[in-house]
Each structure stands twice: as structure tokens, then as C-alpha cells.
Chains A and B, each alone.
Chain A
């Protein structure tokens, strides 16, 4: 299986704290993306990092990528109750030709308590 893995599977924190989620993958990638899913809804793209990038910021989100370790981390700073959701990493494989698809991680369920 080429499925990525996230840890932790579940994370519970207090508002204002930082949340860190990790993702590992197995093959060479073109880019790695993080998505958010509110309960029972569709996924929403959060941030993308290319294979030649090491760190990227978007608002309160910070993503890092270590291609030597085949891993990525997503940091949400100063968390809010509205950040409560599941977060999935997805890898876009290199040299996938015309049949491009994303390989999805197992997800981290984040609960931010008021």
C-alpha cells in the first residue's frame, strides 16, 4: 500500500494551544497537500508544499516537508474551537502520467476545546 500515515490519530487541545500533526509517505512525490474535513462533509484544501520546498506558511498554518525522511508536519498555531476537524495529508506522486491521483493518509482527528 502506498497510503500515507498520520500521527497522532486523535489530538485534543485547548484553545490557544498549537496543534501539530505528522504525515509519512512511502514513494517519491511531486507535492504534498493537507486537507481539512468537518464532520460528515467534503474535504477542503488547506495548503500545498512542493517537493523542492522545505517550509510553507498560510495564515496560522505552517507545513514542513522532509523528503529524506518522507515526512511532513502541519502546525496550527493559536488554535480555535473552529479548527476542530479531521486533517488529511495527500501525496501527488511523481511521474504519474495522465492518471494523476492523490494518495491519502489515514487522518488526524483534532478537537480544540473552548
Chain B
């Protein structure tokens, strides 16, 4: 298992600004994921951030809008750039292992973002 913290826990931002969300894990992990979750909705994967390689973005998400850093095995950041009200959402980071061949993920508490 892993303990994951995210900063900030919530923020209210103005349109056109950027916010960087931090994700810190208490142990070294290979796979790290960033998700977006609209209120009452399911999770949408933004990108997979594996250490030592460029982040892999899902369809509909681009690096210019959601740049990701993964400097080491315990830390990652997701930036939401040039924000609009449509970016208001909960952003979740998670980590996973391929222990025993399966991908179980552990989640941070989330960052609740409101864009005015």
C-alpha cells in the first residue's frame, strides 16, 4: 500500500491562470496516474506519468494544457494551464504497482478546483 498526499486540497482560481497540483507518495512507485473527476461522474484518465519517460496522455488531453513532471519515484506535478470554468473538477493522482501481475491503484485525497 501507499500513503499519498496532494497539495492543494482545494483552490479557487481565476480564468486564464494556471495551477500546479503536487502529488507526494511515501514510497517509490513506478506508475503514477492523473485523473479528472467531474462532480457525480466517473474518473477520466488524463495521463500516465512513469518515471524516466515522458507522460503518456489520453485522447482529448494535451501536454500544453496539462504539463506533467515526474522528477523522481515519489513525486509528480500536474499543471492545469490557462484555466477556464470547464476545468472545474476534482483532480486525483494515483499510484500503481504491477505486483503479482495486476494493477491495483492507490489514490490521493484529490484537489478540488473551481475556476471562476
Contacting residue for B110 out of A41, A50, A107, CB 8 A: A41
Chain B residues lying within 8 Å of A44, measured Cβ to Cβ, are: 107
Residues of A within 8 A of B106 (CB): 45
Residues 47-67 of B contacting A (Cβ, < 8 Å): 48, 50, 56
Main secondary structure of the interface of B (DSSP, over half): strand
A60 contacts chain B at the CB level, 8 A cutoff: no
A84–B33 CA distance with the chains assembled, in angstroms: 26
Of B14-22, B79-87, B94-102, the one contacting chain A is: B94-102
Residue numbers in B under 8 Å from A98 (CB-CB): 50
Interface size on A, residues (CB 8 A): 25
Check B104–A33 contact: CB distance below 8 A: yes
Say what secondary structure dominates the interface of chain A: strand
* Inter-chain contact A88/B109, CB cutoff 8 Å: no
Chain B interface (Cβ within 8 Å of chain A)?
Answer: 4, 31, 33, 40-43, 45, 48, 50, 56, 90, 92, 94, 96, 98, 101-110, 112
Known: A43-B43, A45-B104. 19 other contacts (CB 8 A): A40-B112, A41-B109, A42-B92, A42-B109, A43-B94, A45-B105, A50-B102, A88-B43, A98-B50, A99-B48, A99-B56, A100-B31, A100-B103, A101-B33, A102-B45, A104-B45, A106-B41, A106-B42, A107-B42
